[in-house]
């Protein structure tokens, strides 16, 4: 189709631009590119759909999305997790109309075909008169995601029956996830349902930011330093540590110990929290990371990101550590729905969990003092991408930072963990790593690679 041809031409341009550490503007708001992303990326990569703590009991379900498709994530009577397409097999009507709940059955509102929460068709109105022997219920259940797997309670689905397992796909990002949420028995749980809001932004801009854009922090978020919610923002690049893993995943940590937060180990968690941690199973590299350079942000390709921040709940107030996982749900070209889950440790009391939730919303909720800065800034790219003037001018975004820097940006040869680690946030390497993988997947190459090597 002409649209496919358009997308192919744009990908050629992306490839040429990336060779010069540039990214052409048109990928941030283009119908053909968007449709190709839904087809190439969201039907082939492992996509996060829910956390197990959202569906702890038999019958619990949440409605989610994989790309543009609504799915129901259920806990069936046998304790199994199912990721079911939310399209009735009769005419395609959504059989589940609510965000979350508990039910053994989903009854389609159109003609009443009724499915079990494991996806099986269990009956239809007037089944005998209407169908006689012509309807085999076993053959007409809800279509299931071909593969479902979990890591640390995070439920991922892949619409591709083949390809790497979830653990292979996550690679070093799984190793990092183990550190972030697995340090205490029971791990972490969601502090409530996800908050959701629409942005006129492209999902890649948000995902890219969370790979390790330390460079925006002391400009865009400077007001947080002025009101004493933050401290030391001007060092966010200088003391950043970049972790790049296979399949486009990247995280950024910070070595605050050497700067303005002396004694910063284990993200600055208070002893009441760290006493629950068990570090005995960690390897040498993991111990080094949690004690000296713990991850602050990260993106698991394509659209799941994370942030953990030590922050006060009011300016100058006592510090506490918040953890948010967020998903950049594609809605259309240049438009996303941001899904934001605050996470708390499973061992936390209701009071501790509420405090962490409040701090999390204060910083990274829809009205959060950081979140508002970011989401407004991200609205420029899709606007520029829609501009005939900018397209005609061949506008490319600049990712050439650090080409003349004195700082050694090459990866740390002493690193013994997975992937690559760099000892500075300068260089925009994590962002380029993300876009190089994006191009690979858009071209149909989903094999594990560590693109972006210098």
User: By the criterion CB under 5 A, which residues form the site for Fe ion?
Assistant: 374
**Residue 108 binds which of Fe ion, ligand FES, none (CB < 5-8 A, kind-dependent):** ligand FES
Judged by CB under 6 A, does residue 142 bind ligand FES?
no
Taking CB under 6 A as the binding criterion, the range among 85-93, 196-204, 240-248, 434-442 that sits at the site for ligand FES is 85-93
**C-beta closer to Fe ion: residue 200 or 391:** 200
CA dist 71 and 157 (Å) reads 10
Is residue 122 a contact partner of residue 137, using CB atoms and an 8 Å limit? yes
**C-beta closer to ligand FES: residue 113 or 154:** 113
C-beta pairs of 356-359 under 8 Å, 24+ apart in sequence: 356/191, 356/320, 356/321, 356/322, 356/323, 357/191, 357/192, 358/313, 359/311, 359/312, 359/313, 359/320, 359/322
Residue burial 258-285, b: 16+ Cβ < 10 Å; e: rest: ebebeebebbbbeeebbeebeeeebeee
CA dist 129 and 149 (Å) reads 40
**Residue 93 binds which of ligand FES, Fe ion, none (CB < 5-8 A, kind-dependent):** ligand FES
The CB-of-323 to Fe ion minimum distance in angstroms stands at: 16
Counting residues that bind ligand FES (by CB under 6 A) gives 9
CA distances from 136 to 85, 120, 121, 139, 402 (A): 19, 11, 9, 6, 63
**C-beta closer to ligand FES: residue 112 or 163:** 112
**Residue 288 binds which of Fe ion, ligand FES, none (CB < 5-8 A, kind-dependent):** none
The CB-of-109 to ligand FES minimum distance in angstroms stands at: 7
**Residue 258 binds which of Fe ion, ligand FES, none (CB < 5-8 A, kind-dependent):** none
Is residue 46 a contact partner of residue 170, using CB atoms and an 8 Å limit? yes
The CB-of-195 to ligand FES minimum distance in angstroms stands at: 31
CA distances from 165 to 156, 177, 178 (A): 11, 16, 17
Return the sign of the alpha-carbon dihedral for residues 371, 251, 36, 73. negative
**C-beta closer to ligand FES: residue 86 or 211:** 86
The CB-of-90 to ligand FES minimum distance in angstroms stands at: 3
**Binds ligand FES (CB under 6 A): choice among 88, 191, 199, 321:** 88
The CB-of-58 to ligand FES minimum distance in angstroms stands at: 24
Judged by CB under 6 A, does residue 93 bind ligand FES?
yes
**Residue 374 binds which of Fe ion, ligand FES, none (CB < 5-8 A, kind-dependent):** Fe ion
CA dist 223 and 208 (Å) reads 23
The CB-of-114 to ligand FES minimum distance in angstroms stands at: 9
**Residue 88 binds which of Fe ion, ligand FES, none (CB < 5-8 A, kind-dependent):** ligand FES
Q: Tokens standing for 298?
A: 């990260």
Is residue 154 a contact partner of residue 87, using CB atoms and an 8 Å limit? no
The CB-of-158 to Fe ion minimum distance in angstroms stands at: 30
**C-beta closer to Fe ion: residue 108 or 206:** 206
The CB-of-71 to ligand FES minimum distance in angstroms stands at: 16
Question: Which run of H or of E encompasses 328?
Answer: strand 319-332
**C-beta closer to ligand FES: residue 107 or 429:** 107
> How far from chain centre, in Å, is Cα 329?
9
**C-beta closer to ligand FES: residue 140 or 277:** 140
**Tokens 């509420």 appear where?**
354
Helix (H, G, I), strand (E, B) or coil at 117: coil
CA dist 282 and 130 (Å) reads 61
Q: Residues 285, 263, 351, CA angle at the centre, nearest 5°?
A: 95
Closest CA to 302 of 222, 383, 207: 207
Task: Name the residue number minimizing CB distance to Fe ion.
Answer: 374
**What x-and-dash track marks residues 97-136 binding ligand FES by CB under 6 A?**
-----------x-xxxx-----------------------
**C-beta closer to ligand FES: residue 18 or 121:** 121
Q: Where are the beta strands (DSSP E) in 20-104?
A: 22-24, 47-51, 60-66, 69-75, 81-85, 100-102
The CB-of-176 to Fe ion minimum distance in angstroms stands at: 20
The CB-of-38 to ligand FES minimum distance in angstroms stands at: 23
Judged by CB under 6 A, does residue 141 bind ligand FES?
no
Residues that bind ligand FES (CB under 6 A): 88, 90-91, 93, 108, 110-113
């Amino acid at each position: 189709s002409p649209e496919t041809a358009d997308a192919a031409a744009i990908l050629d341009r992306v490839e040429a631009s990336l060779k010069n550490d540039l990214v052409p503007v048109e990928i941030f708001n283009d119908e053909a590119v968007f449709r190709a992303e839904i087809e190439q990326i969201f039907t082939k990569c492992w996509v996060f759909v829910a956390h197990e703590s959202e569906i702890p009991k038999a019958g619990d379900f949440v409605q989610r999305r994989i790309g543009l498709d609504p799915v129901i994530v259920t806990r069936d009577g046998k304790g199994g997790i199912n990721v079911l397409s939310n399209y009735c097999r009769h005419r395609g009507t959504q059989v589940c109309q609510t965000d979350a709940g508990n039910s053994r059955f989903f009854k389609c509102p159109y003609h009443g075909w009724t499915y079990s929460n494991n996806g099986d068709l269990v009956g239809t109105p007037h089944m005998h008169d209407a169908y006689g022997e012509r309807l085999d219920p076993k053959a007409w259940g809800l279509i299931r995601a071909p593969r479902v797997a979990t890591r640390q309670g995070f439920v991922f689905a892949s619409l591709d029956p083949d390809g790497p397992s979830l653990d292979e796909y996550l690679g070093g990002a799984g190793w990092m996830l183990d550190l972030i949420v697995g340090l205490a028995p029971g791990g972490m749980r969601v502090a409530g349902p996800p908050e959701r809001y629409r942005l006129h932004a492209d999902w890649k801009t948000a995902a890219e930011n969370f790979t390790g854009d330390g460079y925006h922090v002391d400009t865009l978020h400077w007001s947080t330093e002025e009101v004493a919610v933050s401290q030391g923002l001007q060092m966010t690049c200088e003391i950043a540590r970049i972790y790049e893993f296979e399949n486009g995943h990247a995280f950024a940590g910070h070595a605050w110990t050497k700067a303005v937060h002396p004694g910063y180990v284990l993200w600055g968690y208070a002893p009441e929290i760290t006493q629950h941690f068990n570090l005995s199973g960690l390897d040498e590299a993991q111990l080094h990371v949690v004690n000296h350079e713990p991850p602050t942000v990260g993106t698991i390709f394509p659209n799941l990101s994370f942030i953990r921040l030590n922050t006060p709940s009011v300016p100058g107030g006592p510090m506490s550590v918040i953890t948010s996982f967020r998903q950049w749900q594609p809605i259309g070209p240049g438009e996303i729905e941001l899904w934001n889950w605050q996470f708390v440790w499973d061992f936390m009391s209701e009071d501790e969990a509420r405090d962490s939730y409040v701090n999390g919303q204060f910083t990274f909720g829809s009205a959060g003092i950081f979140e508002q800065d970011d989401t407004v800034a991200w609205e420029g790219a899709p606007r520029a991408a829609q501009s005939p003037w900018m397209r005609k001018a061949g506008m490319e975004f600049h990712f050439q930072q650090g080409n003349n820097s004195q700082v050694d940006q090459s990866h740390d040869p002493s690193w013994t963990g997975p992937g690559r680690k760099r000892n500075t946030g300068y260089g925009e390497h994590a962002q380029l790593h993300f876009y190089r993988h994006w191009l690979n997947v858009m071209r149909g190459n989903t094999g594990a690679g560590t693109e972006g090597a210098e």
